[in-house]
Chain A
Amino acid sequence: MGLLEVKNLRLSYGTVQGIVPAVDGVSFTIEAGETLGIVGESGAGKSSLASALMRTMPRNVVNYTGIIEFEGSNCLELSDEAFRKQIRWQRMSMVFQGAMDSLNPVIKVGKQVAEPLLLKPGIKPKQAYATAQQLLKMVMLSPEVFHRYPHELSGGMKQRVMIAMALIFNPKLILIDEPTSALDVIIQAQIMNLLKRFKREFKLSILFITHDLALASDLCDSIAIMYAGEIIEMGSAEEMLLEPKHPYSQKLLVSIPRLAEDTRPEFIVGAPPDMTALPPGCYFQPRCHCVFERCLHEHPPSFKLPSGRLVKCWLYGDQR
């Protein structure tokens, strides 16, 4: 029994063009202390998945079904208020994308970090602030940052504050959504080192969301690749990075330019699918280099390979 078990999660938005699926029947499990990477390109539904787990979806959600079992309780059965009181931030917290505007500009950093703790009955403000100070120290920020306003900090510092903030309740699971996409490579490496250390020291479970497969390799024990709202392949980091099975995963891996080797990066022809008008059959079929007759008409289910890896591709349809 994993820490977080997601089964057949669906999330759609109601828009002018009609109902647009964002997360389309996603299932995965995160064990305690494990890190799962969700990798996908823009529009693949990664961030919608995160908001579905944290229940921070925009208002125009029309379809929100499935099972999210976290530490034994089904989150979808909890009322908003119960979810907020029992789970959100205390047991499952999140580091948001775009640290630049994720902090309240008119509240001092220290108070923002301590804020959720301050609201807990029985906790003295002094205690809460001390915890916040300590967390800031842990993310390698100087103590004076506590009294600063967000706009006085650099992007890297803000992202550290966001990480400190997510740790205030010492949660079991942290969702981390593109933590470094706006940062420079060196700062990115610093942050990744920090996360790596926390993961090790606190036995944290992490759901790491990124568009960058290389970055995912820095942290993740297993990796799931998303395309058009679905997980099309999922397996251990070793398998996924050394021997991806799905044509999309393969192409994604070789599209990364490498500094050390002389291999030419490759690309996938065509554009990502329009979520309002998905193609028939496999969603990846119009761009796939291995496409055959069946792909055009039938949507592939997840096939479990002997190693335990899941692939949504007809190429593996006969290997049960």
Chain B
Amino acid sequence: MKELLVMNHITMDFHVKKQLFSSLIIRAVDDVSLKLEGGESIGIVGESGSGKTTLGRLALRLLKPTGGDLLFRGQDITRASEANLKVFRRQAQGIFQDPFASIDPFMNVHQILEEPLLIHRVGSQDVRRELISQALKEVKLTPVNDFLPRYTHTLSGGQRQRVAVGRALILRPDFILADEPVSMIDASSRAEILYLFKELQEKHGISFLYVTHDIATAGYFCRQMAVMYLGKIVEFGRTSSLIRKPHHPYTQALIRAVPSPDPSNRTHERLVISGESPSPIKPPPGCRFHPRCPNFIVGKCDVKLPQMVAVGEDHSTACYLYP
């Protein structure tokens, strides 16, 4: 499959005004490279402060990267103006965490779904109406006519998120960024959205970048997975191999921390790394993870940043434990 979205050494700095004339730089994303192929799905997993959300926003070009290149279908869109991004905006869509906040509460379902069509001047009113009802059927909000005039506050979380999916879908995009799409939804409805994604991916060949803190849902939905820590990717690989054989100590800790409904859990404490992820304003030198790492090698990990090395087929990690 052809490469759809390519991120080459992407870096993103934020300026935080600290004093009258000086500002602090926060490097939210630090030299990240990623390739998303057509019809593929990559999960970006990390804790808060890992830069995963920033990476997602960069992938949609909602932010201009400070360094590196961003290519969509081979076209450089790193610094393209909003006007030149029109085509990209049509082919790349986003689904965001909070389905209540990401949808205009002043619009009914019909208006919400019509908006992308209006923005990109698609079709006549009749064509648009047809497209809207098609999209609603696809996200299983039926009977369509019941939902069209409703406002989002009358819908449940799962239904709202499906409206958001419908809106992302209606322009027939090639790429969808899903930023924590199920974290605000009740556990019993999460799988429904994930199945919907999977169905759309298989049916329309849409590529997904799935940004989440929840390695379990990512593990189910994504074929590949990237684990981020403090702005850097520390491990990347095919999901099956990454979850079964996590190499990076951070990935291992992350997987260990995920609770599973097992009654024996309460009898013993879970093995967990100590401390919290440090502030990205002053990242530690060397490997970002070394202050919390159980396998920390003095004089090595705290000096030089480890490079990504292959540890298996289609599986690599940035850790000195693996030569």
A and B touch in the complex (CB under 8 A): yes
Contact between chains at B219 and A259 (CB < 8 Å) = yes
Looking at A212, A221, A267, the one whose CB has the most chain B CB atoms below 10 A away is A267
CB-CB contacts below 8 Å: B233-274 with A: 243, 253-263, 265-266, 269-270, 272-274
Q: Which residues of A contact B263 (CB under 8 A)?
A: 217, 237-238, 241-242
**How far is A41 from B156 in the complex, measured between Cα atoms in Å?**
12
A211 to chain B, nearest CB (A): 6
Contact (A190, B274) CB under 8 Å given A41-B188, A219-B266: yes
Contact between chains at B192 and A269 (CB < 8 Å) = yes
Contact between chains at B188 and A184 (CB < 8 Å) = no
Q: Which residues of B contact A238 (CB under 8 A)?
A: 263
Contact between chains at B216 and A257 (CB < 8 Å) = yes
- Name A287's closest neighbour in chain B (CB-CB): B188
**How far is A265 from B218 in the complex, measured between Cα atoms in Å?**
12
Check B191 for interface membership: any CB of A closer than 8 A: yes
Contact (A42, B47) CB under 8 Å given A253-B261, A259-B216: no
- Name A197's closest neighbour in chain B (CB-CB): B269
Check A213 for interface membership: any CB of B closer than 8 A: yes
- Name B183's closest neighbour in chain A (CB-CB): A181
Contact between chains at A185 and B243 (CB < 8 Å) = no
A290 to chain B, nearest CB (A): 15
Contact between chains at B272 and A42 (CB < 8 Å) = no
Contact (A257, B219) CB under 8 Å given A217-B261, A265-B190: yes
Q: Which residues of A contact B265 (CB under 8 A)?
A: 217-218
User: How many residue pairs bridge A and B at CB < 8 Å?
Assistant: 129
Check B313 for interface membership: any CB of A closer than 8 A: no
**How far is A266 from B190 in the complex, measured between Cα atoms in Å?**
9
Contact between chains at A186 and B273 (CB < 8 Å) = yes
Check A188 for interface membership: any CB of B closer than 8 A: yes
Q: Which residues of A contact B176 (CB under 8 A)?
A: none
Contact between chains at A42 and B261 (CB < 8 Å) = no
* Interface bin, chain A: 35 or more
Question: A227-261 interface mask toward B, CB cutoff 8 Å, 1 = contact, 0 = none?
Answer: 00000000001100110000000011101111110
Contact between chains at B189 and A214 (CB < 8 Å) = no
**How far is A257 from B158 in the complex, measured between Cα atoms in Å?**
17
Contact between chains at B194 and A265 (CB < 8 Å) = yes
Contact between chains at A255 and B191 (CB < 8 Å) = yes
CB-CB contacts below 8 Å: B174-215 with A: 186-192, 194-195, 213-215
Check A271 for interface membership: any CB of B closer than 8 A: yes
Contact (A267, B157) CB under 8 Å given A193-B269, A211-B186, A218-B259: no
Q: Which residues of B contact A (CB under 8 A)?
A: 47-48, 155-159, 186-192, 194-195, 213-217, 219-220, 243, 253-263, 265-266, 269-270, 272-274, 276-277
Q: Which residues of A contact B (CB under 8 A)?
A: 35, 41-42, 154, 156-157, 184-190, 192-193, 196-197, 211-221, 237-238, 241-242, 251-253, 255-260, 264-269, 271-272
A-B CB contact pairs (8 Å), 7 listed: A42-B157, A193-B270, A214-B259, A256-B216, A257-B190, A267-B190, A271-B189
For the complex of A and B, the 10 pairs showing the least CB-CB separation, nearest first, are: A271-B156, A184-B47, A267-B191, A189-B257, A214-B259, A267-B192, A265-B191, A41-B186, A189-B272, A185-B257
